[in-house]
Structure 1
């Protein structure tokens, strides 16, 4: 018998085959040769659920009472039916503006709301990063007042849109601690109707511990009979003017024209948003006019500055 010769080539081939088999075994059988698995255990790949910080549940914030903000503060009443906003400062009509509320399928909720947040520049977290200038948040689910397009009908995704100049002036006017927003499905056509409705709209309440809670904290409107009806009381103009100086800015043929002048002036002079506005009827000769006046501490200095810049103004008291 002829014994086969074992050459270096045969030895190299055999060694290569052994190494290849060993490598394959390591891939297919983790832990072979006592080397352990190369996979990262699931417990190390992700942090335990208990260690992941969840956002805190927003605290329930109740709006100030309507009667309180009528004494000192800002009341905003929004009629979805009329697509109008009525604004009161310290109980007196401040301005009226058209709005655009939520379209079908995205209705603006009715109820009584606080101002939760304010931001001059904000973008929607829900709808394509859409801009929301002069945003004033009403709910944590995305309902807010902000500047936007007004086509003349409900067109938003639930927010309340305002003309840009009016949104800016309103942003300057409000303070979260002294502003209440009432949104209603009812038709409103006057400041008197808006004030009376706000006074008779039930306020939201703190949730009862242990009871199932709705997702929203705003009020689900209760029947009107739940509270006695309160009629709005006229305020004393002398009391309103106490501690301030009164100036006259313009005279108009109608109250609506005077209000429109006020909005235009605030857009140019935002500091006027802190003034108490009044539209005073008067007769000049045989013609009835409506005088646009404003009251605040230091109003005379503003009037002087306005006249130096070519504006019309004179001191009243």
Structure 2
């Protein structure tokens, strides 16, 4: 005889006795016995099966290529050595500002960064809830551009601090999908040098661990521009020297003087090649200089 069958038999006996007035006269007592038997017979509830949570890999976000934002977008170049920031909007110099980058043992990482997140009001979840107004996040590990104390030397825990007015203006200017931030260890002595350094920063580099938001952009293919069609090699060389003096970033380009015959006349075409050359050509044209893209 099973346990459940035995319990049912006992219940029946008890109920029969109750009917004779010999046991359990109270209706409540009979209900208690029935409930106890039901609990013994009923199978225990089965907990629902919940699928274990699987962490999804975080894909690092690539910043727009420097050459692209120089043509249409915002390029931010930060020199840790000079403690200075240069900002370019659509290839034209928009503004410069002193900065304060990471101090010793909290160095600001160098590299090419996207804007991952923007918040007007933000507090650090790492350093004592410190305020970070006009925060523009560069990495998910705590590196950002924001308003803060700028003493003239590296003093932060890795972030790039700006004077409040400049931080607000920059916050209003940038759009995450059209902004690239280049942080370099090298000193910058001019705005033109900042553009050159940013264009050269796109050399291939190993991808970092997923999730830190810091990436180096893929190498940009070499582009060629034409600066002049001279009547002699000497004239082409003189034009090159003048262009380099006015735009020092051209010094890093590969120069070529290509002879050509148009009709009955011979010319020497002055050309220059480098990654991002088309973007620089746009800057030259906006400054009133002759330039056009070749390849």
Query: Normalising TM by the smaller chain, what interval?
Result: 0.5 to 0.7
The answer to whether the 8 Å contact 1:182/1:198 transfers is yes
- Report deviation, 1:216: 3.4
Report what 2:166 is aligned to.
166
- Report deviation, 1:157: 0.5
Report what 1:77 is aligned to.
77
Measured against aligned partners, the alpha-carbon deviations of 1:185-207 in whole angstroms (never above 9, x if no partner) come to 00001100000000111267795
Report what 2:212 is aligned to.
216
- Report deviation, 1:219: 3.9
Report what 1:236 is aligned to.
285
Give the direction of change, closer, same or farther, for the CA distance of 1:57–1:203 in structure 2 (3 Å limit): farther
- Report deviation, 1:59: 2.6
Report what 1:243 is aligned to.
none
Counterpart-to-counterpart distance in 2, 1:49 and 1:150: 52
Q: Output the TM-score relative to the length of structure 2.
A: 0.56
Q: Secondary structure at the match of 2:284?
A: coil
Rg: which structure is higher? 2
Counterpart-to-counterpart distance in 1, 2:211 and 2:58: 11
- Report deviation, 1:139: 0.5
Counterpart-to-counterpart distance in 1, 2:215 and 2:120: 27
Gaps of 5+ in 2: 1-46, 224-251, 254-273, 289-295
The answer to whether the 8 Å contact 1:115/1:136 transfers is yes
Report what 1:273 is aligned to.
none
Report what 1:278 is aligned to.
none
Counterpart-to-counterpart distance in 2, 1:236 and 1:152: 36
Counterpart-to-counterpart distance in 2, 1:49 and 1:80: 50
Q: Secondary structure at the match of 1:150?
A: coil
The answer to whether the 8 Å contact 2:101/2:156 transfers is yes
Q: Secondary structure at the match of 1:235?
A: helix
Two-structure CA RMSD over aligned residues (Å): 3.3
- Report deviation, 1:237: 3.0
Counterpart-to-counterpart distance in 2, 1:202 and 1:237: 24
The answer to whether the 8 Å contact 1:135/1:147 transfers is yes
The answer to whether the 8 Å contact 2:101/2:107 transfers is yes
Counterpart-to-counterpart distance in 2, 1:186 and 1:109: 13
Report what 1:105 is aligned to.
105
The answer to whether the 8 Å contact 2:58/2:210 transfers is no
Report what 1:89 is aligned to.
89
Gaps of 5+ in 1: 1-43, 240-317
